[in-house]
Amino acid sequence: MISDGVRIGIDVGGTFTDLVAVEAENGRAHHFKLPSTPSDQAIGIGDGVAALLAQIGAAGQAVAFLGHGTTVVTNLIIERRGAPTGLLTTAGFRDVLEIGRQTRPDLYDYTVERAPALVPRHLRLEIPERLDADGRVLVPLDEAAVERAAEVLLAQGVEAIAIGFLHAYRDDAHERRAGEIVRRVMPCALSPCRRRYCRNSANSNDCRRPLSTPMPGRAWRATSPGSSGAWCVRRCRRRLISSIRTAA
């Protein structure tokens, strides 16, 4: 019987989920691998933790730390999968995602093909609104335009909308109000990032998550009630939010 606790780390990949448990008492490591469950990654986590504890001969109460990291969303971005995404941005800044930071793989090679924009141009819509660099309103938010744009994107099969307005890092009232309007019809994403390209990119990437499982909130529900896997994941669910990190 393990008395001093077990630390578990989990790596959820697109194909396999790998788990490692270390006994605090003697430093002995245990490994377990199982196929990932793309329809609900929490199932793989719950099954893997339960199987790993059974292999060790430990109860769920022995788990002192549980951390998890995943490449699932990274894969969605690289492969341009995930929820079909639209973008609402300040009028005149529709092509910020296309322009980026003007960096090039090779400054003098004009044959290099850049990666496609995170959101295609026909799904990037402009909204009349404008703040200056100090956050003062130059053009009030056109709420009717936001509503129309959301309906247009919905009709084109978009499932989530990123919102990135100019200088919103100084005052995000326009973004937040646009988000309230958009959420009447579908999910949306806002980001506190500075700089137009970073903010729009972060929002666009965040919108791909609707097709990925919110594992921290669901992992403990994926295991049978009362099981050791369910107990330890429920106990450590807050720690699942972060990538694997060293326990204090």
Q: What is the CATH number of domain 6-75+212-241?
A: 3.30.420.40
Digit-by-digit pLDDT tens for the chain (248 residues) are 455 688 888 998 888 999 999 988 888 899 999 998 887 788 888 888 888 888 888 887 788 888 888 887 777 777 777 778 888 999 998 988 887 777 777 778 878 777 788 888 999 999 999 999 898 999 999 999 999 999 999 999 988 888 889 888 888 899 899 989 998 888 776 766 666 667 667 666 666 654 444 444 443 333 333 433 333 333 333 333 333 233 32
Q: Where are the domains of the chain?
A: 6-75+212-241, 83-211
Retrieve residue 233's tokens: 């994941």
